Amino acid sequence: MVETVILQNSCFYHIYNRGNNKEALFKEDANYTYFLMLIKKYISPVADVYAYCLLSNHFHLLIRIKDEAIAIEQYFSNLFNAYAKAFNKKYDRSGKLFAERFKKKEITDDSYLTGVIYYIHSNPQHHKIIADFRDYRHSSYKAILSKQKTNLKREELLDWFGGRSLFEKYHEGRHIFLNEQLDLEK
């Protein structure tokens, strides 16, 4: 029997999942766009989205549950099923696309929240997909800095950091630290 996942209202959660057997979830730009559209359709009615990063074989989301505690697995199941059906049809494949179930971590304090936002944005650099995560096209980093319309809770997130310039400075400082860490791993 599968345990029901209840997420508490007004709490932040780091949600993540990967492709079954670490297979690709996203093969082209249209896949990323479609997945974000499905997040808006299935997740936005029950949770606010603050940050995301979509990599070829996994994704990360930072969400905050709206209004009341919910059994969220059905909303994610709808998202994953809709995406998998379209992906399987487009690429003439069958079978599971996502790993068993998504993982979640409740954000329990302010410093953890700040760190998770950076972790989500820096993931492409951490995995050595790109030299500077700030240039990665499939994360919320640029959308947060942009003036274009977004479904993200941009203003709340920028306020969390004390404004746009402090958001950028925090990411810049952490970027330098990450580069030093990656150099040490060589």
Least confident of 5-9, 114-118, 179-183: 179-183
Q: Give the CATH fold of the 6-185 domain.
A: Alpha-Beta Plaits (3.30.70)
The per-residue DSSP string of the chain comes to -PPP-EE-TT-EEEEEEEBGGG--S--SHHHHHHHHHHHHHHTTTTEEEEEEEE-SSEEEEEEEE-SS-EETHHHHHHHHHHHHHHHHHHTT--S--B-SS-EEEE--SHHHHHHHHHHHHHHHHHTTS-S-GGG-TTBSHHHHHS-S--SS-HHHHHHHHTSHHHHHHHHHHHHHHHHHHHHHH-
d(CA 99, CA 114): 27
The percentage of the chain sitting over the pLDDT mark of 70, rounded to a whole number, equals: 88
pLDDT at 156 over 50: yes
Q: pLDDT tens across 3-39, in order? A: 566 666 778 999 999 999 989 999 999 999 999 999 9
Does the pTM surpass 0.95? The reply is: no
pLDDT at position 11 is: 86
| Pairwise CA distance, residues 154 & 164, whole Å | 10
Rounded-to-integer distance, Cα 5 and Cα 73, Å:
6
pLDDT, tens only, 47-88: 999 999 999 999 999 999 987 767 778 898 999 999 999 999
Q: Where are the domains of the chain?
A: 6-185
